[in-house]
């Protein structure tokens, strides 16, 4: 990655419906505009994410989506939908960055939001870099949160099941929703830790204890689990197959799709289907990687992608 940097400007976007969205600008104020979209939903941005872009060539906006990271109120589900996030992005683009177009970069849920934003506002997207493709379809949610991935991680799966009584396990997303939005604080944090730990343990090809420890920290886990479950309980606030059905709206946008071959969270099938629906984009399967952005092969591909587009215009 590029060397660590600090933002040159930070602030909060005040929404009209009760949220304060944290944002930061990094790199060259006169560089190529780009926006980084974090995963989850509900995880927030980290300092390492700034290092995915050449700071001499890019002007990068990073923001914590509603309810997570440094945004306020913490873990709020009120007025928190995909449409709200797209609206926030448009205000950040026009009011904070003042850019007509920007490179849109996102992985996992960030790829979902990237695709949804680009399909809604294609004229404002100069390029699209997406990783670990996730489109919030029923089969994808069922794979990771109901049965499929349990075959790969039966030991971790038992811990994921633990907060849910056997009679409620036929719909685990619904059972978790009941606990994550309930009034029992002890039950809520237990469910949040179990939900978040499941992803932290399975996110990379080889277990990375740093992922696990960050995911089970209470402040992170409660926002991550509540917001993820809220979105997944509502199919991402999109129609089934919406992002693939509307992939034709991406035609004409230069793009790169990066996918770990052994991604257990968002299996490669979805990335392949996006590639078929958007064949103009460059498609890269990383042979020795899972889901996490900082696995060596994925990280190398992401840096190469932002380097490739770095000189395609600036403000």
Q: Would the pLDDT of 315 be above 50?
A: no
* CA 52 – CA 182 distance, rounded (Å): 38
pTM exceeding the 0.75 threshold for the entire prediction: yes
Query: How does 72-89 read in b/e, with b if 16+ C-beta sit within 10 Å?
Result: eeebbbeebbbebbbebb
Q: What is the pLDDT of residue 313?
A: 61
Q: 170-229, pLDDT tens digit by residue? A: 999 999 999 999 999 999 999 999 999 999 999 999 999 999 999 999 999 999 999 999
Output the DSSP codes for 130-194.
EES-----HHHHHHHHTSGGGGT-HHHHHHHHTTS-GGGTTSHHHHHHHHHTSS-HHHHHHHHHH
% of the chain residues with pLDDT over 90 = 98
Q: Would the pLDDT of 230 be above 80?
A: yes
Question: Using 50, 70 and 90 to split pLDDT, how confident is the model at 314?
Answer: very low
Q: 246-295, pLDDT tens digit by residue? A: 999 999 999 999 999 999 999 999 999 999 999 999 999 999 999 999 99
Radius of gyration over alpha carbons of the chain, in Å? 18
Q: Would the pLDDT of 51 be above 80?
A: yes
Taking all residues of the chain, what is their mean pLDDT, rounded to a whole number? 97
Active site positions, annotated: 108, 263, 291
* CA 37 – CA 49 distance, rounded (Å): 9
Q: Would the pLDDT of 76 be above 60?
A: yes
Give the CATH number of domain 9-137+238-309: 3.40.50.1820
Question: Using 50, 70 and 90 to split pLDDT, how confident is the model at 165?
Answer: very high
Q: 139-162, pLDDT tens digit by residue? A: 999 999 999 999 999 999 999 999
Q: List the chain domain ranges.
A: 9-137+238-309, 139-236
């Amino acid at each position: 990655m590029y060397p660590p940097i600090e933002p040159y400007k930070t602030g909060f976007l005040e929404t009209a419906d009760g949220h304060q969205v944290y944002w930061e600008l990094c790199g060259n104020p006169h560089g190529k505009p780009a926006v980084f979209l974090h995963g989850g939903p509900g995880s927030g941005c980290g300092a390492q994410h700034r290092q995915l872009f050449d700071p001499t060539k890019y002007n990068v906006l990073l923001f914590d989506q509603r309810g997570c990271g440094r945004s306020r109120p913490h873990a709020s589900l009120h007025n928190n939908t995909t449409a709200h996030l797209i609206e926030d992005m448009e205000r950040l683009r026009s009011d904070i960055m003042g850019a007509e177009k920007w490179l849109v970069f996102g992985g996992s849920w960030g790829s979902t939001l990237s695709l949804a934003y680009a399909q809604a506002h294609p004229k404002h997207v100069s390029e699209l870099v997406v990783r670990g493709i996730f489109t919030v379809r029923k089969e994808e949610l069922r794979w990771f949160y109901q049965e499929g991935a349990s075959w790969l991680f039966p030991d971790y799966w038992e811990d994921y099941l633990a907060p849910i009584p056997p009679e409620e396990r036929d719909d685990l997303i619904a059972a978790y929703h009941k606990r994550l939005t309930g009034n029992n604080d002890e039950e809520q944090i237990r469910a949040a830790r179990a939900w978040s730990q499941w992803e932290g343990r399975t996110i990379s090809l080889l277990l990375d204890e740093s992922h696990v420890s960050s995911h089970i920290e209470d402040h992170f886990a409660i926002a991550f689990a509540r917001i993820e479950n809220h979105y997944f309980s509502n199919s991402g606030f999109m129609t089934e197959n919406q992002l693939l059905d509307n992939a034709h709206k991406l035609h004409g946008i230069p793009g790169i799709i990066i996918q770990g071959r052994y991604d257990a969270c968002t299996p490669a099938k979805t990335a392949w289907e996006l590639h078929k629906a958007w064949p103009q984009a460059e498609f890269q399967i990383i042979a020795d990687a899972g889901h996490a952005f900082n696995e060596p092969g994925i990280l190398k591909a992401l840096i190469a992608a932002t380097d490739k587009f770095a000189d395609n215009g600036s403000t």
